[in-house]
Amino acid sequence: MKFDTDIRNQLANEVAGACACFKVRQAARLLTRIYDHALKGADLRATQFSLLAAATVGDAPTLSHLADILGMERTTLLRNLGPLERRGLIAVSPEGHRRARQVTVTQTGLQTLARALPLWRAAQERLRATMGETDWLGFHRHLGEVNRLA
Amino acid sequence: MKFDTDIRNQLANEVAGACACFKVRQAARLLTRIYDHALKGADLRATQFSLLAAATVGDAPTLSHLADILGMERTTLLRNLGPLERRGLIAVSPEGHRRARQVTVTQTGLQTLARALPLWRAAQERLRATMGETDWLGFHRHLGEVNRLA
DNA sequence: TTTTTATATGTGTAATTACACTTTATGAAA
DNA sequence: TTTCATAAAGTGTAATTACACATATAAAAA
Protein backbone atom coordinates (compact mmCIF):
# COMPACT_ATOMS: atom_id res chain seq x y z
CA MET A 1 0.00 0.00 0.00
CA LYS A 2 1.51 3.32 -1.15
CA PHE A 3 0.70 6.66 0.46
CA ASP A 4 2.22 9.64 -1.27
CA THR A 5 2.16 13.06 0.34
CA ASP A 6 -0.95 14.29 -1.47
CA ILE A 7 -3.01 11.28 -0.48
CA ARG A 8 -1.84 11.58 3.10
CA ASN A 9 -2.81 15.22 3.28
CA GLN A 10 -6.19 14.40 1.79
CA LEU A 11 -6.67 11.69 4.38
CA ALA A 12 -5.69 13.93 7.27
CA ASN A 13 -8.07 16.61 6.08
CA GLU A 14 -10.90 14.16 5.48
CA VAL A 15 -10.68 12.78 8.99
CA ALA A 16 -10.11 16.09 10.75
CA GLY A 17 -12.84 17.80 8.76
CA ALA A 18 -15.51 15.13 8.46
CA CYS A 19 -15.19 12.72 11.39
CA ALA A 20 -18.16 13.26 13.68
CA CYS A 21 -16.41 11.48 16.52
CA PHE A 22 -13.24 13.52 16.28
CA LYS A 23 -15.11 16.80 16.04
CA VAL A 24 -17.47 16.12 18.92
CA ARG A 25 -14.55 15.03 21.10
CA GLN A 26 -12.67 18.19 20.18
CA ALA A 27 -15.71 20.27 21.10
CA ALA A 28 -16.09 18.37 24.36
CA ARG A 29 -12.46 19.06 25.26
CA LEU A 30 -12.91 22.76 24.51
CA LEU A 31 -16.15 23.20 26.42
CA THR A 32 -14.86 21.14 29.32
CA ARG A 33 -11.86 23.44 29.65
CA ILE A 34 -14.18 26.47 29.59
CA TYR A 35 -16.64 25.10 32.15
CA ASP A 36 -13.93 23.65 34.38
CA HIS A 37 -12.35 27.08 34.52
CA ALA A 38 -15.70 28.77 35.20
CA LEU A 39 -16.51 26.40 38.07
CA LYS A 40 -13.16 26.71 39.81
CA GLY A 41 -14.66 29.11 42.35
CA ALA A 42 -16.90 26.30 43.59
CA ASP A 43 -14.05 23.77 43.46
CA LEU A 44 -15.96 21.58 41.03
CA ARG A 45 -15.11 20.13 37.66
CA ALA A 46 -17.74 20.35 34.92
CA THR A 47 -18.50 16.64 35.16
CA GLN A 48 -18.81 16.79 38.93
CA PHE A 49 -21.24 19.68 38.66
CA SER A 50 -23.41 17.68 36.24
CA LEU A 51 -23.31 14.64 38.49
CA LEU A 52 -24.22 16.64 41.56
CA ALA A 53 -27.11 18.33 39.80
CA ALA A 54 -28.38 15.07 38.31
CA ALA A 55 -28.21 13.32 41.67
CA THR A 56 -30.65 15.81 43.15
CA VAL A 57 -33.42 14.49 40.93
CA GLY A 58 -36.33 12.53 42.40
CA ASP A 59 -35.91 10.30 45.38
CA ALA A 60 -32.30 9.15 45.63
CA PRO A 61 -31.75 7.41 42.29
CA THR A 62 -29.86 4.13 42.20
CA LEU A 63 -26.44 3.96 40.61
CA SER A 64 -27.78 2.26 37.50
CA HIS A 65 -30.66 4.69 37.17
CA LEU A 66 -28.34 7.66 37.50
CA ALA A 67 -25.97 6.21 34.91
CA ASP A 68 -28.92 5.78 32.59
CA ILE A 69 -30.05 9.38 33.04
CA LEU A 70 -26.56 10.66 32.35
CA GLY A 71 -25.90 8.47 29.32
CA MET A 72 -22.82 7.27 31.16
CA GLU A 73 -21.45 3.77 31.57
CA ARG A 74 -22.41 2.49 35.00
CA THR A 75 -18.80 1.76 35.88
CA THR A 76 -17.77 5.23 34.74
CA LEU A 77 -20.40 6.78 36.96
CA LEU A 78 -19.21 4.70 39.90
CA ARG A 79 -15.64 5.94 39.47
CA ASN A 80 -16.81 9.52 39.00
CA LEU A 81 -18.79 9.45 42.23
CA GLY A 82 -15.62 8.56 44.12
CA PRO A 83 -14.18 12.09 44.35
CA LEU A 84 -17.58 13.52 45.31
CA GLU A 85 -18.07 10.90 48.01
CA ARG A 86 -14.56 11.41 49.41
CA ARG A 87 -15.33 15.11 49.75
CA GLY A 88 -18.65 14.39 51.45
CA LEU A 89 -20.76 16.01 48.74
CA ILE A 90 -22.78 12.86 48.14
CA ALA A 91 -23.49 9.68 50.06
CA VAL A 92 -24.18 6.22 48.69
CA SER A 93 -26.55 4.03 50.68
CA PRO A 94 -25.74 0.45 51.65
CA GLU A 95 -27.13 -2.27 49.40
CA GLY A 96 -30.90 -2.56 49.33
CA HIS A 97 -33.31 -4.48 47.13
CA ARG A 98 -31.28 -6.55 44.64
CA ARG A 99 -28.04 -4.95 45.82
CA ALA A 100 -29.32 -1.54 44.69
CA ARG A 101 -27.50 1.44 46.19
CA GLN A 102 -28.97 4.92 46.18
CA VAL A 103 -27.16 8.21 45.73
CA THR A 104 -28.08 11.20 47.89
CA VAL A 105 -26.64 14.69 47.83
CA THR A 106 -25.55 15.79 51.29
CA GLN A 107 -26.15 19.20 52.85
CA THR A 108 -22.57 20.09 52.00
CA GLY A 109 -23.25 18.94 48.46
CA LEU A 110 -26.28 21.17 48.19
CA GLN A 111 -24.32 24.11 49.52
CA THR A 112 -21.57 23.49 46.97
CA LEU A 113 -24.19 23.24 44.26
CA ALA A 114 -25.66 26.55 45.38
CA ARG A 115 -22.25 28.19 45.08
CA ALA A 116 -21.68 26.61 41.67
CA LEU A 117 -25.02 27.51 40.11
CA PRO A 118 -24.39 31.21 39.39
CA LEU A 119 -20.93 30.35 38.02
CA TRP A 120 -22.46 27.78 35.70
CA ARG A 121 -25.23 30.16 34.60
CA ALA A 122 -22.64 32.82 33.84
CA ALA A 123 -20.61 30.37 31.76
CA GLN A 124 -23.73 29.37 29.87
CA GLU A 125 -24.54 33.02 29.17
CA ARG A 126 -21.03 33.84 28.02
CA LEU A 127 -21.00 30.92 25.60
CA ARG A 128 -24.48 31.73 24.35
CA ALA A 129 -23.42 35.33 23.74
CA THR A 130 -20.24 34.27 21.95
CA MET A 131 -22.03 31.78 19.70
CA GLY A 132 -25.09 33.88 19.07
CA GLU A 133 -28.61 32.80 19.89
CA THR A 134 -29.24 30.97 16.60
CA ASP A 135 -26.15 28.79 16.79
CA TRP A 136 -26.66 28.19 20.50
CA LEU A 137 -30.15 26.84 19.89
CA GLY A 138 -29.10 24.88 16.81
CA PHE A 139 -26.17 23.34 18.63
CA HIS A 140 -28.41 22.22 21.47
CA ARG A 141 -30.96 20.82 19.06
CA HIS A 142 -28.37 18.73 17.26
CA LEU A 143 -26.82 17.50 20.48
CA GLY A 144 -30.30 16.45 21.58
CA GLU A 145 -30.81 14.55 18.32
CA VAL A 146 -27.52 12.71 18.70
CA ASN A 147 -28.03 11.87 22.34
CA ARG A 148 -31.45 10.46 21.57
CA LEU A 149 -29.73 7.84 19.39
CA ALA A 150 -28.42 6.12 22.50
CA MET B 1 -30.17 27.48 51.67
CA LYS B 2 -33.25 25.30 51.28
CA PHE B 3 -33.78 22.91 48.35
CA ASP B 4 -37.16 21.30 48.29
CA THR B 5 -37.90 18.45 45.94
CA ASP B 6 -39.48 20.59 43.22
CA ILE B 7 -36.58 22.99 43.07
CA ARG B 8 -34.14 20.09 42.95
CA ASN B 9 -35.96 18.45 40.09
CA GLN B 10 -36.05 21.76 38.25
CA LEU B 11 -32.33 22.11 38.76
CA ALA B 12 -31.55 18.61 37.57
CA ASN B 13 -33.63 19.14 34.46
CA GLU B 14 -32.15 22.55 33.77
CA VAL B 15 -28.60 21.22 33.87
CA ALA B 16 -29.27 17.97 32.03
CA GLY B 17 -31.35 19.72 29.39
CA ALA B 18 -29.52 22.99 28.86
CA CYS B 19 -25.85 22.54 29.77
CA ALA B 20 -23.81 22.68 26.57
CA CYS B 21 -20.85 21.07 28.27
CA PHE B 22 -22.81 18.16 29.68
CA LYS B 23 -24.59 17.50 26.41
CA VAL B 24 -21.50 17.65 24.24
CA ARG B 25 -19.66 15.34 26.62
CA GLN B 26 -22.59 12.91 26.54
CA ALA B 27 -22.54 12.98 22.74
CA ALA B 28 -18.78 12.48 22.74
CA ARG B 29 -19.13 9.42 24.99
CA LEU B 30 -21.82 7.97 22.73
CA LEU B 31 -19.98 8.54 19.45
CA THR B 32 -16.71 7.32 20.96
CA ARG B 33 -18.35 4.04 21.94
CA ILE B 34 -19.76 3.69 18.42
CA TYR B 35 -16.50 4.48 16.63
CA ASP B 36 -14.38 2.47 19.05
CA HIS B 37 -16.57 -0.51 18.31
CA ALA B 38 -16.41 0.09 14.56
CA LEU B 39 -12.61 0.31 14.58
CA LYS B 40 -12.04 -2.82 16.62
CA GLY B 41 -11.17 -4.77 13.48
CA ALA B 42 -8.14 -2.53 13.00
CA ASP B 43 -7.27 -2.67 16.71
CA LEU B 44 -7.54 1.09 17.01
CA ARG B 45 -9.51 3.34 19.32
CA ALA B 46 -11.31 6.31 17.78
CA THR B 47 -8.81 8.76 19.22
CA GLN B 48 -5.88 6.71 17.99
CA PHE B 49 -7.34 6.64 14.50
CA SER B 50 -7.67 10.45 14.52
CA LEU B 51 -4.13 10.87 15.77
CA LEU B 52 -2.72 8.50 13.20
CA ALA B 53 -4.58 10.23 10.38
CA ALA B 54 -3.61 13.70 11.58
CA ALA B 55 0.04 12.71 11.91
CA THR B 56 0.19 11.86 8.21
CA VAL B 57 -0.29 15.51 7.31
CA GLY B 58 2.54 17.54 5.78
CA ASP B 59 6.14 16.89 6.66
CA ALA B 60 6.36 15.29 10.11
CA PRO B 61 4.66 17.85 12.33
CA THR B 62 6.18 18.69 15.69
CA LEU B 63 4.40 17.65 18.88
CA SER B 64 3.21 21.21 19.54
CA HIS B 65 2.03 21.68 15.97
CA LEU B 66 0.11 18.44 16.02
CA ALA B 67 -1.51 19.34 19.35
CA ASP B 68 -2.54 22.64 17.82
CA ILE B 69 -4.08 20.97 14.77
CA LEU B 70 -6.02 18.56 16.95
CA GLY B 71 -7.22 21.16 19.45
CA MET B 72 -5.64 18.98 22.10
CA GLU B 73 -3.50 19.95 25.07
CA ARG B 74 0.14 19.31 24.23
CA THR B 75 0.58 17.12 27.27
CA THR B 76 -2.54 15.15 26.38
CA LEU B 77 -1.23 14.55 22.89
CA LEU B 78 2.08 13.40 24.30
CA ARG B 79 0.36 10.82 26.51
CA ASN B 80 -1.91 9.71 23.68
CA LEU B 81 1.04 9.09 21.38
CA GLY B 82 2.48 6.66 23.92
CA PRO B 83 0.32 3.64 23.00
CA LEU B 84 0.86 4.28 19.28
CA GLU B 85 4.61 4.55 19.73
CA ARG B 86 4.77 1.39 21.87
CA ARG B 87 3.00 -0.47 19.09
CA GLY B 88 5.36 0.92 16.47
CA LEU B 89 2.66 2.79 14.54
CA ILE B 90 4.41 6.11 14.87
CA ALA B 91 7.92 7.28 15.64
CA VAL B 92 9.00 10.45 17.39
CA SER B 93 12.28 11.99 16.27
CA PRO B 94 15.03 13.00 18.71
CA GLU B 95 15.11 16.65 19.73
CA GLY B 96 15.91 19.08 16.93
CA HIS B 97 15.77 22.85 16.68
CA ARG B 98 14.66 24.26 20.06
CA ARG B 99 14.04 20.75 21.39
CA ALA B 100 11.38 20.21 18.72
CA ARG B 101 10.46 16.56 18.11
CA GLN B 102 8.66 15.44 14.98
CA VAL B 103 6.05 12.74 14.64
CA THR B 104 6.15 10.34 11.70
CA VAL B 105 3.79 7.51 10.87
CA THR B 106 5.68 4.28 10.28
CA GLN B 107 5.02 1.78 7.49
CA THR B 108 3.18 -0.38 10.01
CA GLY B 109 1.20 2.70 10.98
CA LEU B 110 0.22 3.37 7.39
CA GLN B 111 -0.84 -0.25 6.96
CA THR B 112 -2.97 -0.06 10.08
CA LEU B 113 -4.48 3.16 8.82
CA ALA B 114 -5.28 1.48 5.51
CA ARG B 115 -7.09 -1.32 7.35
CA ALA B 116 -8.97 1.19 9.51
CA LEU B 117 -10.11 3.52 6.74
CA PRO B 118 -12.97 1.41 5.33
CA LEU B 119 -14.16 0.65 8.87
CA TRP B 120 -14.22 4.35 9.67
CA ARG B 121 -15.98 5.22 6.40
CA ALA B 122 -18.61 2.58 7.13
CA ALA B 123 -19.17 3.99 10.62
CA GLN B 124 -19.52 7.47 9.16
CA GLU B 125 -22.06 6.22 6.63
CA ARG B 126 -24.09 4.34 9.22
CA LEU B 127 -24.29 7.38 11.47
CA ARG B 128 -25.12 9.66 8.57
CA ALA B 129 -27.92 7.31 7.52
CA THR B 130 -29.27 7.06 11.06
CA MET B 131 -29.27 10.82 11.59
CA GLY B 132 -30.42 11.76 8.14
CA GLU B 133 -28.51 14.01 5.78
CA THR B 134 -29.92 17.28 7.11
CA ASP B 135 -29.04 16.62 10.73
CA TRP B 136 -25.67 15.18 9.78
CA LEU B 137 -24.73 18.35 7.94
CA GLY B 138 -26.20 20.61 10.60
CA PHE B 139 -24.39 18.75 13.34
CA HIS B 140 -21.08 19.12 11.53
CA ARG B 141 -21.71 22.78 10.90
CA HIS B 142 -22.36 23.49 14.55
CA LEU B 143 -19.38 21.46 15.71
CA GLY B 144 -17.27 23.49 13.30
CA GLU B 145 -18.62 26.73 14.77
CA VAL B 146 -17.84 25.65 18.30
CA ASN B 147 -14.38 24.36 17.49
CA ARG B 148 -13.53 27.64 15.79
CA LEU B 149 -14.03 29.37 19.14
CA ALA B 150 -10.79 27.85 20.42
C1' DT C 1 -37.04 -27.16 45.77
C1' DT C 2 -33.45 -26.68 42.62
C1' DT C 3 -32.02 -24.30 38.63
C1' DT C 4 -31.93 -20.69 35.74
C1' DT C 5 -32.38 -16.00 34.50
C1' DA C 6 -32.49 -11.16 35.23
C1' DT C 7 -30.90 -7.31 38.06
C1' DA C 8 -27.33 -4.72 40.32
C1' DT C 9 -23.00 -3.75 41.75
C1' DG C 10 -17.60 -4.02 42.28
C1' DT C 11 -12.59 -4.55 40.39
C1' DG C 12 -8.51 -4.79 37.09
C1' DT C 13 -6.61 -2.62 33.58
C1' DA C 14 -5.72 0.78 30.17
C1' DA C 15 -6.55 4.92 27.49
C1' DT C 16 -7.84 9.89 27.49
C1' DT C 17 -7.66 14.49 29.44
C1' DA C 18 -5.29 18.41 31.50
C1' DC C 19 -3.31 21.45 35.19
C1' DA C 20 0.88 22.70 37.64
C1' DC C 21 5.49 22.45 37.61
C1' DT C 22 10.11 21.45 35.75
C1' DT C 23 13.81 21.14 32.36
C1' DT C 24 16.26 22.36 28.20
C1' DA C 25 17.55 24.92 24.06
C1' DT C 26 17.62 29.20 21.31
C1' DG C 27 17.62 34.01 20.39
C1' DA C 28 17.71 38.81 21.98
C1' DA C 29 19.21 42.34 24.92
C1' DA C 30 22.16 44.45 28.19
C1' DT D 1 29.56 37.67 27.23
C1' DT D 2 26.24 37.30 30.58
C1' DT D 3 21.45 37.74 31.32
C1' DC D 4 16.88 37.35 30.14
C1' DA D 5 12.95 36.09 27.51
C1' DT D 6 10.84 32.72 24.38
C1' DA D 7 9.89 28.23 22.58
C1' DA D 8 9.51 23.32 23.19
C1' DA D 9 9.16 19.42 25.65
C1' DG D 10 8.78 16.06 29.98
C1' DT D 11 6.74 14.58 34.71
C1' DG D 12 3.51 14.19 38.82
C1' DT D 13 -0.88 13.80 39.92
C1' DA D 14 -5.74 13.24 39.51
C1' DA D 15 -10.12 12.88 37.13
C1' DT D 16 -12.80 10.75 33.29
C1' DT D 17 -14.02 6.88 30.35
C1' DA D 18 -15.16 2.06 29.53
C1' DC D 19 -14.38 -2.93 28.47
C1' DA D 20 -13.92 -7.51 30.46
C1' DC D 21 -14.70 -10.02 34.20
C1' DA D 22 -16.35 -11.27 38.84
C1' DT D 23 -19.82 -11.28 42.52
C1' DA D 24 -24.25 -11.09 44.81
C1' DT D 25 -29.41 -10.83 45.06
C1' DA D 26 -34.10 -11.72 43.70
C1' DA D 27 -37.55 -13.56 40.72
C1' DA D 28 -39.10 -17.10 37.55
C1' DA D 29 -39.10 -21.59 35.67
C1' DA D 30 -38.42 -26.44 35.74
Q: What is the mean pLDDT of chain A?
A: 95
Partner-chain residue, chosen from A29, A143, A147, that has the shortest CB–CB distance to B72: A29
Q: Could you list the pLDDT tens digit for every one of the 150 residues in chain B?
A: 556 788 888 888 899 899 999 999 999 999 999 999 999 999 999 999 999 999 998 889 999 999 999 999 999 999 999 999 999 999 999 998 999 999 999 999 999 999 999 999 999 999 999 999 999 999 999 999 999 999
The answer to whether B93 and B104 have CB atoms below 8 angstroms apart is yes
Give dist(CA A105, CA B9) in Å, integer.
13
pLDDT in tens, A32-83: 999 999 999 999 999 999 999 999 988 899 999 999 999 999 999 999 999 9
pLDDT in tens, B99-133: 999 999 999 999 999 999 999 999 999 999 999 99
pLDDT in tens, A10-27: 888 899 899 999 999 999
CA of residue B104 relative to chain centroid, distance: 19
Give dist(CA A81, CA A83) in Å, integer.
6
Strands A103-105 and B90-92, by their bridges, are unpaired
Give dist(CA A52, CA A104) in Å, integer.
9
Give the per-residue pLDDT at A2: 57
Helices (H), chain B: 5-18, 20-38, 46-55, 63-70, 74-86, 107-131, 133-148
**Interface with chain B: mutation pick from A4, A10, A24, highest number of B CBs within 10 Å:** A24
pLDDT in tens, A104-138: 999 999 999 999 999 999 999 999 999 999 999 99
What's the helix, strand, coil split of chain A in %, to 5? Answer: 75, 5, 20
Closest-CA distance, A68 to chain B, in angstroms, reads 11
Beta bridge partners of A91: A104
- Strand D closer than 7 A to residue A62 Cβ: no
The answer to whether B12 and A56 have CB atoms below 8 angstroms apart is yes
> Which residues of chain B are within 8 Å of residue A25 when distances are taken between CB atoms?
28, 31-32, 46-47, 50
- pLDDT range class, residue A148, cuts 50, 70, 90: very high
Q: How many angstroms is C1' of C4 away from CA of A97?
A: 20
User: Nearest nt (C1') to B70 (CA)?
Assistant: C17
Closest-CA distance, B121 to chain A, in angstroms, reads 9
Give residue numbers, 58 to 77 of B, with CB < 7 Å from strand D. Answer: 62-64, 74-75
pLDDT in tens, A78-99: 999 999 999 999 999 998 899 9
The answer to whether A120 and A49 have CB atoms below 8 angstroms apart is yes
How far is CA A126 from each of CA A121, A122, A133, B44, rounded to the nearest angstrom? Answer: 9, 6, 11, 37
Q: Is A149 in contact with B143 (Cβ distance < 8 A)? A: no
Q: If we measure between CA atoms, which residue out of B15, B14, B130 comes closest to residue A148?
A: B130
Q: If we measure between CA atoms, which residue out of A138, A116, A135 comes closest to residue A39?
A: A116
Q: If we measure between CA atoms, which residue out of B116, B117, B90 comes closest to residue B104?
A: B90
Q: If we measure between CA atoms, which residue out of B47, B59, B43 comes closest to residue B104?
A: B59
Torsion angles phi and psi, residue B103, rounded to 5: -100, 130
The answer to whether A19 and B54 have CB atoms below 8 angstroms apart is no
Q: Does domain A5-148 have CATH number 1.10.10.10?
A: yes
Give dist(CA B97, CA B50) in Å, integer.
27
Give dist(CA A28, CA B40) in Å, integer.
23
- Strand D closer than 7 A to residue B104 Cβ: no
